[in-house]
Structure formats: structure tokens, C-alpha cells
Amino acid sequence: MFQIDAKTDGLNETTRMLMELPGIFQRARRSALSSVGWWAAQELRNHIEYGGSGWQKLHPLTLRLRKFRSAPATPLFFLGRFARYLIDKEATVAEIGLGKSKKGEPGQMGDPWLMGALRRHEEGAAIPVTKRTRMAWLSTKIKGGKWKKQGRSGAVTGGYFVLKPETTHITIPRRPVIGPVFRKIQGDAVKRFEAQFLAALERYRTGSAKA
């Protein structure tokens, strides 16, 4: 997770003063922060779905074991859809990260499954090989040819993948998500917020429709 603070350094002093005023000024602040939060969440989603920055590719067999095989081959594609942003009650901070939401209801951050998946890829991990894992590999055929090779355990593999008996863990390499996105947007976030704030203020002041 990372945050975008509406009161951050870099804002024009006039904008900073206007933000503290009530009425349409508070509405404009919320509108601008929401706009910047949405933009940052889209940047996070794009980073995930298009394969990050220098991420190691998935093992070919991992791709074959995926539940949704028609999805692109980027390692964390399934996480992109969970990119969200939340605005605090005072409309001063936008929180960007992974979360869940339902139509017409406020979104939520901190889902244990999403946080666990994100942490494993952010930091890398070693996943223990269970009997279920071995069976998943063993049920996947090697393409091409009729294999009758004998495995190290003495069993005939018959053209299926077999994990070595001494393989006890599968390594997940580091694939940073939050840091690269935050560094990418950091320079533009203040400029975008200020532009959106002034545009929203003008709309509310004149009663004009949103462009």
C-alpha cells in the first residue's frame, strides 16, 4: 500500500490555503483526490497486468497449471483487477493498494488473501511442496512423443512431469509492485491533484457540467 497526501509538500501556497476553506472548496478537494486516487490505482493495475519492471517470467508449467489459462502470461495478472483506492473521511489522504469492493458499497483494503499474495511476490518466498503439489505436477503431461522414461523413484513417468524426491520447496522470485509504481507517480501526483482541484472548483463555482 502507499498513500497520496493532499497536504503534501509541493502544492502552490494559494491552492493550499483554498483547500482549507469550507463548502465548495472541500468538495473540490475530495473530487481532486478521488480523481488522483483513481489514476494511481490504474497505474498500479497496469504495472501488474503488463508484467511489472524486469519481472522474471513464469515457469511454463506454472502457466499450464493456471486456473484461467486464457489470461495473459504475465506473472500476477490475476491480481490487477483488485487495484483500488480509498479516500479518508476528511478527504486529505488517498490510500492505493489491493482491495475488494461491491457495487454501491465502499471498498475495503487489507484482505488477508490479497495481502498474503502481494507479500509473497514483493519479498519472494519458498513454498513447501505438498503431496497435492506433487500430484498436480504429475497430472500434467509433457507435450510431444510417447514417453516411457523411468523416474528416479523407480516409477515410469509415462510422459508426465515428476518433481524430484529431494525437491521440498518451490521458489517464488521477487516481483516488486508497490515501490516501482509509487516512484513512477510520485512526481506527477501533486501536479495532477492541483490541476484537478482548480478544475473542480471552477465547475462548482460556475455550475458548469464536468468536462
pLDDT, position 38: 94
Burial class from Cβ neighbours inside 10 Å (0-12, 13-18, 19+) for residue 143 reads exposed
Angle (CA) 187-191-5 rounded to 5° is 75
| Mean pLDDT in residue range 147-164 | 55
Least confident of 106-110, 112-116, 136-140, 184-188: 136-140
The pLDDT-based confidence of 11 (bands split at 50, 70, 90) is confident
Question: Could you give the percent of the chain with pLDDT greater than 70?
Answer: 78
CA 35 to chain centre: 18
pLDDT, position 85: 92
pLDDT, position 34: 93
Whether 154 has a pLDDT exceeding 50, the answer reads no
pLDDT, position 143: 57
Domain parsing of the chain, residue ranges: 2-124+174-206, 130-167
C-alpha radius of gyration, the chain, whole number: 24
pTM of the model: 0.78
Q: What is the pLDDT of residues 17-75, one digit of tens each?
A: 888 888 899 999 999 999 999 999 999 999 998 888 888 887 776 776 666 655 666 78
Whether 146 has a pLDDT exceeding 60, the answer reads no
| Mean pLDDT in residue range 111-140 | 83
Whether 105 has a pLDDT exceeding 70, the answer reads no
pLDDT, position 147: 47
Whether 210 has a pLDDT exceeding 70, the answer reads no
Whether 95 has a pLDDT exceeding 80, the answer reads yes
Angle (CA) 98-100-105 rounded to 5° is 135
pLDDT, position 70: 57
Whether 109 has a pLDDT exceeding 90, the answer reads no
> Average per-residue pLDDT in the chain?
81
